[in-house]
Structure 1
Amino acid sequence: MSSSRTTSHTSSTPQSLPSRPPPIPADDGFEGTPASREATTDETDASPCEFEIDWENIWHGGKRLMGAKRRPRHRRVIGTKIKESWIYRHGANLEHHGASLGLQLASHFDEGTWKARFVDWIIVEDVTFRQASSERLRWLIANGGELASQLLPEHHTTVCSWIRQTFESRRQIIANLVKNATSSVHLSFDLWTASNGCNYVGIVGHFVDSNGEKRDVLLGLPRLVGPHSEALARWFPMDVGRRRLRCIGHIINLVVRAVIFGSNVSKFETELRGATDEFSFDIWAKKGAIGRLNNLATYIRRTDQRRQALRRFQTELAGDDAIFTLEIVVDGKTRWNSIYNMIKRSLELRSAIELYQSRWQKPKNDPVHRDLTKDFLNAADWAELERFHDFLKPFYILTKTMEGNASKPGVEGGHGAVWETLKTMDYLFVKFKQAAEETQFEEPSHFKSGIDCGWAKLEDYYVKSDRTPVYRAALALHPSYGYDYFERHWKTAMDRPQWYNDMQSAVGSLFGEYARQAEVEAQAQAGLLEGEVDEIEADVNDYSSFGKRSIRSLNTQRKKVKAVSELDIFQTRPIYAHDLDVADPLEWWNRHQLEYPVLYRMALDLFSIPGMSSECERVFSQTKKMITDERNRLAPEVVEADQLQKQWLMRGLVV
């Protein structure tokens, strides 16, 4: 154990001790230990220590110091080979009077008592087991040092103050990171209502930093105050509609709900919102097999006794093979693909559900109890559920796929980028087309009408995607796709030649914007800004100036020709085997930026955009761990400061 200052055995009459100069730093770097000085009178005459020291139980950094002995500094033994102990070199004399517990030398360490107090802390404070064994806690205990006990806050307001202080110092680091981005900064945002009723808006920035790395950074989590006013749309000097990108997960969710509930989903949800239990059961029953399954699942999950009955039937059917049982799943309303999960689980539990139906009896003493036989599933219902399950499975897989983080370290270029949006929609378009052909001559059914409604909803979002060129340009600039993809799928397979022509026009127009911006920047660097170079000097004769053009106009024309040809060169370049499976398009463009300088700038912006706002959902999932029933009065400013720093620390953006 090393002391943070030079100390002496405390006398029983400390007021009689003469004042002494401040300690001199030791040569070996331990703060507060004298390098060398002669013994003083007060050291020699010091009275015995006020507390007894067990020199066989001196610990430092969790290890016992072997061979430590009491050997005052002033005592010299000449002619002997006594080994100088570590504790002596770094201050054997300890001051006990007035010292804090952290500065006292622990003569004993009771392992059992320490463990008991540690467990008590976990139990009483509801500390999770992962938190109690986290590396950060281990570091704090191992490296706390002697003064750690003095630093521990004694009131919760101190913790809030510390969090705000570190937030103010760290936010400048993030501001500089965003300021130095080499790409445009794209924003994804979403709203969330916490368990305490407060509304928060998560704002995440997506960009390429100065080192060429894609970043997803939480920039804000403020509490939402007041109604929606469109003030930001009026404030920003840009075409908001053209720059708005839609979350592909939201598109998939709306298409799926159209498949399940038909064309007027809003009306259906409005009816459910104010309905009584019995009335809501009747509304769901009109939705065919899925509606009756929802009623059945809701009924079973409503009480623990009914859930136990379903588990008993599973065990009865499994016999000796029973290992575990499953719970029936009910529609989660706001959760994407929750209806698919409900159908999937019901098919797994079909035998148990049929056994439950066969043994169900309406309670005799409850006349208002719902007659569950209205919701029993027959063979035709199970067949329809299987068709819905098989059709909706690709939607479920694509939703999970696009929820990925294409900027996550180790999986750079993975799924979840905006260039996958149109590819995802095209894949689903083909699935709808196949299903429509299969059901073309069938009798009307919920499944058949659902296919028509879902396909119509998907085509609506094709039209909306045309309002911005980003979706098409991102896929067109992907080294593994390009214009060839649109020609194969849109022009040929999907028989939409006009879509293909519109795509070329939109991508060319967007490229022209980048080309003009590159031209302005090049002129600024070369000192050829408009007005600096004009027509050929007026004093030359007419013949010499005839047919000549200004330097500015020549440069403008040549750069324009070069910019237009750059896009054509990329789309008509030779394709090699490694170009067919490019996992990270941005990495490919980093290697080819000298060949396509304008396209490279365009690629930086396009391939740093996510396809979904799932990053905001991840933020909300973390924040709900902070705002609980026991912590429902946290100030929104503290919540924001805490969660922003949490995200920055988890991503290694700050230390």
Structure 2
Amino acid sequence: MPAPSFSSTPSSSRSADQFTELIIQPSIESSAKKSTTPSTGPLSSPSSVRAPRPLADGAFPIRWGALQYNNKRLSDAHYYMKHKRTTGKTKKSWIWDHGANIESENEQYWLCRRCHETGSDCSTIFKYNGNSAIAYHLKHKHGISEDGEVPQHIRVSNPWDRSKKANSFGPLRTPIAGEGYRQQYLDWVVAHDYDLEPKLGCFMMDNAQDNDRAVLQLATRFGFDPDWRRLRCSGHVINLVVKAILYGKGVSKAERQLQCCNDQESFSIWRQRGVIGKVHNIVRYITRSDQRRQHFETLQAEALQDDELFSLQLIKDGGIRWNSTFSMLERALKLRNAIELFCAQWERDADYDLSQDFLKRSDWEEIQRFVALLKPFKDATLELEGHAIHGNYGALWQALEMMDILDGLLQEEKAAVAADPRSYSNYYVAGLDQLSPVKIFLGTRC
């Protein structure tokens, strides 16, 4: 039987077998069109054409002339054919089940099968230098992961689906009142676009009033109890409690004042916050000058006999953020001797009168109480980080147990203040007095 020949006959008249051969090796078509005479070379043998097929990853019908990468046409694009000796030695990646491995000008590319079949060519070709970008595309564009299709209840519809549903929802009635617009938008997003109504559960948000109003709107629309569905973030609750201990009333006012004041005013505002403000001013005064920092390091070496660690740096707090404030106080205790030496050797200059922030023995005792009280809060924040998907960190039972422990610590400290109020500064008592409404909140929410 003579070998089959390739000619310039239109593709519609070719057999399905010949079409498959041209898809697998597109260069055959161009070479076949150059001559209408039968070819006796190796490419004319059907067996030789089909032989590389098992070596091509993700082969499917491709419109080779439409392939572009970064708005540049991929010239001479063809399937990347692995060498026979490498086939079967390495495990095939799951991404090749959803795309083709093509080659152009000695560069390998991955072509998304789903996007290509729907006509989206330019944005669905990735230069193959790893799987991360390809896996991200498959997951967020098509809902496909290594384990298969992403479950429908956690998938988000693509923009095309959203636009179709928005058009089917109908035009907004004018004039648009604020309440009417919110109600129509709620119906569209929750009920029509994402179909979230049967999946609505509890709402984990911080304590902003806007979040309360949002949950109330949803509760009115879908008929559930907002008090039972409204949950608070445990980390945010801890933040509110500790800020009440550290700063008492007027935290927001102090933050606004610090945003628009000069250096002298800033030192004065912080000094009004009690012993924490004094430590803040001392640390800021030392660290704002290279000469003072070097002098402080020298004083640490002199205090070596009393300080276990003498090469530590002072830690500046990040404004009114309790975790950085705790770190600043904890480090100040370790460097107490060096700080006292620095203050003892300080000479008045035109920059700032640091003597107003010198720490007395009672101040250091107060700092020790702060650190001892806040250490469990820091540990609790770290313990509750996470989503409890793999392990216990962040689990609801753990948050409830931790809040109960912290509430007990606060009650013990408050009793100590009531028993011996003179041993605590007025500032410290003012901070603990803010805990009564927060304590009620801790007992009912996690």
With the shorter chain as reference, the TM-score category is 0.5 to 0.7
Deviations 1:400-436 (A, max 9, x none): 212243222xx2xx13222344433332232223223
- Which residue identity lines up with residue 374 of structure 1 in the other structure? Q
Please tell me whether the aligned partners of residues 110 and 125 of structure 2 are also in contact (alpha carbons under 8 angstroms): no
- Which residue identity lines up with residue 282 of structure 1 in the other structure? S
**Secondary structure of 2:231's match?**
coil
Question: Are positions 1:437 and 2:437 aligned together?
Answer: no
Matches within 5 A, 1:383-422: 383-408=365-390, 411=391, 414-422=392-400
CA apart distance, 1:308: 3.7
Distance 1:22 1:265, change over 3 A: farther
Residue 344 of structure 1 corresponds to 330
Please tell me whether the aligned partners of residues 384 and 447 of structure 1 are also in contact (alpha carbons under 8 angstroms): no
- Which residue identity lines up with residue 280 of structure 1 in the other structure? S
- Which residue identity lines up with residue 431 of structure 1 in the other structure? L
Matches within 5 A, 1:132-147: 147=103
Distance 1:322 1:430, change over 3 A: closer
Deviations 1:490-535 (A, max 9, x none): xxxxxxxxxxxxxxxxxxxxxxxxxxxxxxxxxxxxxxxxxxxxxx
Please tell me whether the aligned partners of residues 300 and 338 of structure 2 are also in contact (alpha carbons under 8 angstroms): yes
Q: Out of 343, 361, 386, which is 1:357 matched to? A: 343
CA apart distance, 1:305: 4.2
Please tell me whether the aligned partners of residues 332 and 339 of structure 1 are also in contact (alpha carbons under 8 angstroms): yes
Residue 208 of structure 1 corresponds to none
Gaps of 5+ in 2: 1-23, 57-74, 83-94, 112-121, 127-132, 156-194, 208-212
State the distance in 1 between where 2:251 and 2:229 align.
28
Residue 458 of structure 1 corresponds to 438
- Which residue identity lines up with residue 441 of structure 1 in the other structure? D
**Secondary structure of 1:147's match?**
strand
CA apart distance, 1:449: 0.4
CA apart distance, 1:380: 2.0
- Which residue identity lines up with residue 382 of structure 2 in the other structure? K
Question: Are positions 1:378 and 2:364 aligned together?
Answer: no
- Which residue identity lines up with residue 397 of structure 2 in the other structure? W
Residue 258 of structure 2 corresponds to 272
Question: Are positions 1:292 and 2:243 aligned together?
Answer: no
State the distance in 2 between where 1:166 and 1:441 align.
61
State the distance in 1 between where 2:140 and 2:420 align.
64
Please tell me whether the aligned partners of residues 270 and 281 of structure 2 are also in contact (alpha carbons under 8 angstroms): yes
Matches within 5 A, 1:231-270: 235-270=221-256
CA apart distance, 1:341: 1.4
Distance 1:303 1:233, change over 3 A: farther
Distance 1:99 1:247, change over 3 A: closer
CA apart distance, 1:190: 6.9
- Which residue identity lines up with residue 396 of structure 2 in the other structure? V
Question: Are positions 1:151 and 2:93 aligned together?
Answer: no
Matches within 5 A, 1:233-632: 235-318=221-304, 325-333=311-319, 335-363=321-349, 367=350, 369-408=351-390, 411=391, 414-439=392-417, 440-443=419-422, 445-446=425-426, 448-450=428-430, 452-462=432-442, 465=444
Please tell me whether the aligned partners of residues 80 and 108 of structure 2 are also in contact (alpha carbons under 8 angstroms): no
CA apart distance, 1:307: 3.4
Q: How many residues align?
A: 320
Distance 1:347 1:18, change over 3 A: farther
State the distance in 2 between where 1:382 and 1:353 align.
11
CA apart distance, 1:347: 0.8
Distance 1:177 1:170, change over 3 A: same
Please tell me whether the aligned partners of residues 284 and 294 of structure 1 are also in contact (alpha carbons under 8 angstroms): yes
**Secondary structure of 1:377's match?**
coil
State the distance in 2 between where 1:101 and 1:308 align.
65
Residue 87 of structure 1 corresponds to none
Higher relative contact order (CA 8 A, sep 6+): 1
State the distance in 2 between where 1:277 and 1:99 align.
67
Please tell me whether the aligned partners of residues 303 and 310 of structure 2 are also in contact (alpha carbons under 8 angstroms): no
Deviations 1:45-89 (A, max 9, x none): xxxxxxxxxxxxxxxxxxxxxxxxxxxxxxxxxxxxxxxxxxxxx
Distance 1:103 1:423, change over 3 A: closer
CA apart distance, 1:245: 0.9
CA apart distance, 1:306: 3.6
Please tell me whether the aligned partners of residues 330 and 342 of structure 1 are also in contact (alpha carbons under 8 angstroms): yes
In proportion to residue count, which structure has more helix?
2
Normalised to the residue count of structure 1, the TM-score between the two structures is: 0.40
State the distance in 2 between where 1:310 and 1:177 align.
55
State the distance in 2 between where 1:22 and 1:316 align.
89
State the distance in 2 between where 1:328 and 1:420 align.
34
State the distance in 2 between where 1:392 and 1:314 align.
26
Please tell me whether the aligned partners of residues 429 and 455 of structure 1 are also in contact (alpha carbons under 8 angstroms): no
**Secondary structure of 2:396's match?**
coil
- Which residue identity lines up with residue 381 of structure 2 in the other structure? T
- Which residue identity lines up with residue 147 of structure 1 in the other structure? E
State the distance in 1 between where 2:78 and 2:366 align.
73
**Secondary structure of 1:419's match?**
helix
CA apart distance, 1:102: 10
Please tell me whether the aligned partners of residues 202 and 229 of structure 2 are also in contact (alpha carbons under 8 angstroms): no
Residue 170 of structure 1 corresponds to 143
**Secondary structure of 1:415's match?**
coil
CA apart distance, 1:371: 1.3
Normalised to the residue count of structure 2, the TM-score between the two structures is: 0.56
CA apart distance, 1:389: 0.9
* Structure 1 vs Structure 2 CA RMSD: 5.0
- Which residue identity lines up with residue 429 of structure 2 in the other structure? S
Distance 1:328 1:101, change over 3 A: farther
